[in-house]
Chains A and B, each alone.
Chain A
Amino acid sequence: MRARVNLPRTARAGEVVTVKTLVAHPMETGYARDVQGTVIPRHIITDFTCTYAGREVFRAAFRPAVAANPFLEFHLRATVSGPVAFRWRTDRGEETTLERTLEVT
C-alpha cells in the first residue's frame, strides 16, 4: 500500500492543523466478479489510526462501501512537538505505516 500524508512541519501551540492522507488500495468489496464470473474475494482496509505524541487522535473504521484509494482529511490541535504516526491495516493483516514530526513553536 503506497500512502501519502500532508500536514505542516511546524505549527504554533494551540493551532488547528489540517491533515490529509491518501492510500492506494483497491478496496475490493467481495461482491464484484471478474470477467470469468468468479467472485473477487473481499480485500479492504478495515482500520486507520493516527497518533500524535503517542496518543491516538483519530481513528476510522472502513467498510466495503468505501471507494478505492481512500482519501481522508481531518484536523488536530498542535500542543507539543512530537511524532505524528499513521497506520492503515487490511482485513488480511497487512499494514502500512508513515511517520512525520510536528514541531510546535
Chain B
Amino acid sequence: MTTRRRLLAAAAGVAGAAFAPAVIGAARPRVAVVGAGFGGATCARYLNAYDPDLHVTLIDPATTYVTCPMSNRVVAGQLPPEAITFPLDHVANEHVAARAVAVDPGRRLVITGERVVPFDRAVLAPGIELVYDAIDGAPGGFLHAWRGDAQAVALRDAIRGMRPGGVFAIAVPDNPYRCPPGPYERASLAAEYFRKRNPRAKVLILDAKDAFTKQPLFEEAWRARYPGMIEWVPRRDSGTVVAVRDGAFITDFDEHAVDVGNLVPPQRAADIVRDFDAGRGWCSVDPMTFESTVAAGVHIVGDAIEATPMPKSAFAANNQAKACAAAVVALLRDRPPPAPFMMNTCYSLAASDYGFSVSGVYDVAEGAIRTRTAGQSPLGAEPGVREQEARHAGDWYRAITRDAFGVGDPKRGRRVVFERERGDCAICHELPGLDASSHGNVGPSLTDVGARLDARTIRRRIVDPHADNPGSVMPAYGRSSGLHRVAEGFRDRSVLGRADIDDATAYLLGLKGNG
C-alpha cells in the first residue's frame, strides 16, 4: 500500500513537472495571449479576473515590458528606463517566453520556435511593424525609438551628445500610426532639455501630415516655453521625408542637414497577424468581440487593429483588451458577449510641468465603433492648470500600468495580509513580527514565501489554492464560483478584489525569510 501510493505520487509528480499546464489545463478553457503590451497584458489579467477557471498563457519573448507612454521622458533624460519597465510575472497563469511565429486558427495553435500552444480562443496584441520601404536608404542608422526598447536610451544619449547649436530632427509619418501625439511630445521634451543644456539647438519636425492631434495646444506651449526653437514643417511645405542618408533627411523638394535624426517610419500591424489584415496593413475585427473578421476564434486588440475613431494608444488598447476579455469569457461559456463601452484618455507633456489631454468615450453601434463624447483641454488655460494636468499624467500612468501589469504596492499589501476583515492570513500562517501564540500553523510559514515561490505562484495560491493542491483547506480568495458554504455577504464576489490580490502578492514576494 505504502509502496503503491509512493509510486502513484511519483508518477503524478513526473507528469506534473513535464506537462503541468496541459494536464491542469485540459478541463479548463485555454486562452493564448500573444504580446505583453498594454493590450495583451491587460487582456490576460482580465481574462483571469473575469473567469479564474480559464488557463491563460501569455506568449512574449520578453520577461519585462518597457512602455511607450512616458518613454519621451526617458528620451529627454527626465526618467531612467527602469521607471518605465515592468515585470510580466503578474500577468497570466503561464508565460511562454518565446516569440510567436505563426497562429493557426484552423488547428487552434500558436506556434513558437520552441513549442506549440493550443488554445480554445486566442487574443493577439502584437503591436506594430515599422515599414521603411517608402523611405529611400532607411533606416540608414537613424533611430526610431518607437517600440519601447533600448532605442529610447540611445536617442537620449545622442541628444545629450549633440553639438552646441545643432539640429535635432524628427521625421513623422502620415496617419495612421502608433501614438499620434508622440512625435510632438518628443519634440517638446527635447526642447525642454535643450533650453537648459544647449540653448541654440533647433528642433525640426518634418511631417508627412498637414495637421496633427492637439496641434493648437502644442503650438501654444511651444510659443510660451520654447520660442523660436521648434520648427514644424507640414506636408504642404514639403515635410514628407522620402529619403535619408548620412546626416540628412531628404524630402521631394529639400534636403535638411541633421545632427541627430529620429526617423519614425510608417507602420502597419505586426508580422504575426499579416494573414489576418486582408492586405490592408491593419486587422479588421468585429467591434462587439474583437474577433478577427477573417479568423474565427482569434481576437485582436490594440495598435494592430483598425479601430477608428479610437486612436492607437495605450489606453485604447487597455480598454479594448477589457472588452475583448469579457467577450472571450462569454463566448467560451456560450453566453452572449456584453456590449463594449470604452474610453481613451491621452495625456501629452509639452514640458515636465506642462500637460494637456484628449479623452473620448466609445460604444458600438451598427457594427462599428462610435464616439459618444470627446473633448480636450482648453486653449488659454489659467495658470496652474497645465501643471495640474502634468501631475494627472503621472497619476494616469501609475494607474494604467498597475491595471495592465499588476505590480502591487507592498505597503498596502501588508495591510491586506494582516487585517482580519480582509486576508487574515495569520489565522493559518506564520507572518513576520508575530509570536507563536498569535498566528496559526495549519498552513506553511509565509516568512520566507518570497524566497520559495515566484510571483505567479503566490498569486495563484491566493486566488485559487486548489489549482495547485486539490486537497488544500485554504479558502480561495480570488474566486466567486465553484465554492462551498459561502457566507451570505460573499455570494457572487471574491473575498479579495484584484487590487488587493496585486498588493498582497507584492508584499508576500518581499518576504525573503531574513526578518
Contacts and interface: CB of A to CB of B under 8 A. Distances in A.
Contacts of B252: 4, 6, 20, 22, 71, 73
Chain A at the B interface: mostly helix, strand, loop or mixed? strand
B237 interface: yes
Given A20-B252, A24-B237, A71-B252, 4 more contacts: A6-B252, A22-B236, A22-B238, A68-B210
A92 interface: no
Interface string A65-98: 0001101010000000000000000000000000
B253 A68 contact: no
* In the A-B complex, the 5 residue pairs with the closest CB atoms: A69-B236, A24-B236, A4-B253, A6-B253, A20-B252
A2 interface: yes
A33 to B, nearest CB: 18
A22 B235 CA distance: 9
A2 B237 contact: yes
Contacts of A5: 253
Contacts of A2: 236-237
A100 to B, nearest CB: 12
Contacts of B236: 2, 22, 24, 68-69
Interface string B241-282: 000000000001100000000000000000000000000000
24 contacts: A2-B236, A2-B237, A4-B237, A4-B238, A4-B252, A4-B253, A5-B253, A6-B252, A6-B253, A20-B252, A20-B253, A22-B236, A22-B238, A22-B252, A22-B253, A24-B236, A24-B237, A68-B210, A68-B236, A69-B210, A69-B235, A69-B236, A71-B252, A73-B252
Interface in B218-243: 235-238
Nearest to A24: B236
Interface residues of B, number: 7
A69 B211 CA distance: 12
Chain B at the A interface: mostly helix, strand, loop or mixed? loop
Contacts of B253: 4-6, 20, 22
A22 B252 CA distance: 9
B249 to A, nearest CB: 15
A69 B210 CA distance: 9
Interface string B294-335: 000000000000000000000000000000000000000000
Nearest to A69: B236
A8 to B, nearest CB: 13
A20 B250 CA distance: 14
Interface of B: 210, 235-238, 252-253
A83 B237 CA distance: 24
A104 B236 CA distance: 30
Contacts of B238: 4, 22
Contacts of B237: 2, 4, 24
Nearest to B252: A20
Contacts of A22: 236, 238, 252-253
A79 B149 CA distance: 53
Contacts of A24: 236-237
A103 B338 CA distance: 70
Contacts of A6: 252-253
B208 to A, nearest CB: 11
Q: By CB atoms of chain A within 10 A, which of B210, B236, B238 has the most? A: B236
A73 B253 CA distance: 12
B209 to A, nearest CB: 10
Interface in A1-60: 2, 4-6, 20, 22, 24
A24 B253 CA distance: 14
Contacts of B210: 68-69
A68 B237 CA distance: 12
A20 B251 CA distance: 11
A82 B235 CA distance: 30
Contacts of A68: 210, 236
A69 B235 CA distance: 8
A2 B239 CA distance: 14
A91 B480 CA distance: 70
A69 B253 CA distance: 14
Nearest to B211: A68
A77 to B, nearest CB: 21
A71 B237 CA distance: 11
A37 B252 CA distance: 37
A4 B253 CA distance: 7
A4 B234 CA distance: 13
A51 to B, nearest CB: 20
A68 B238 CA distance: 13
A27 to B, nearest CB: 11
A76 B238 CA distance: 22
A22 B254 CA distance: 12
Contacts of A20: 252-253
Nearest to A23: B236
A6 B251 CA distance: 10
Nearest to B242: A20
A71 B208 CA distance: 12
A91 B252 CA distance: 27
Contacts of B235: 69
